[in-house]
Amino acid sequence: MHAYVRDWTQQNKTWFVAEQLQKRMLFPILMLIVSVTAFNLVSSLVMSVTHKQADIAILRTLGAQPGSIMKIFVVQGTTIGFVGTMTGVFVGCPIAWSIPWFLPAVEHILSIQLLTPSVYFLSELPSKLARPT
């Protein structure tokens, strides 16, 4: 008679492999999102400069330095980035807080189960926002 000893990491090896895959894929996906956002910000600033060439020429004629004109567009880009970030925070936090009751409500309304227990090791989607320290 033989006795085998296995710990919980060996019993749930597929879960750990899936977790590692998720961690590996999360970084490129987030970098893609950040890249698209940065590209959109830069392209909107380029379009703004293109549309305001006549105004820039007037400012240059009146004696404005190139650095001061550049500061205008830096402030514009910073403002766009800040407003976008704050919008994401103010929209994302209520969504994250509402997931424990919102997801079951959507599943009930649509009569489908989004988190099938046989596929996912979750019966519900946990959501907890951490407070910055």
pLDDT, tens only, 53-81: 999 999 999 999 999 999 999 999 999 98
Whether the per-residue pLDDT at 35 is higher than 90: the answer is yes
Residue that has been written with the tokens 């006795």 in this structure: 3
- Provide the Cα torsion 41, 45, 51, 53; round to 10°: -170
Residue 117 is assigned to a structural domain of this protein: no
Q: Range of 48's domain?
A: 9-92
Residue 1 is assigned to a structural domain of this protein: no
Residue 86 is assigned to a structural domain of this protein: yes
> What mean pLDDT comes out for the span 27-48?
92
Banded model confidence at residue 14, pLDDT cuts 50, 70, 90: confident
Residue 32 is assigned to a structural domain of this protein: yes
Residue 114 is assigned to a structural domain of this protein: no
Plot region of 130 (φ>0 → left; ψ -120 to 50 → alpha; else → beta): beta
Residue 66 is assigned to a structural domain of this protein: yes
Give me the number of domains the chain comprises: 1
Whether the per-residue pLDDT at 100 is higher than 90: the answer is no
Q: What is the pTM of this model?
A: 0.64
Residue 107 is assigned to a structural domain of this protein: no
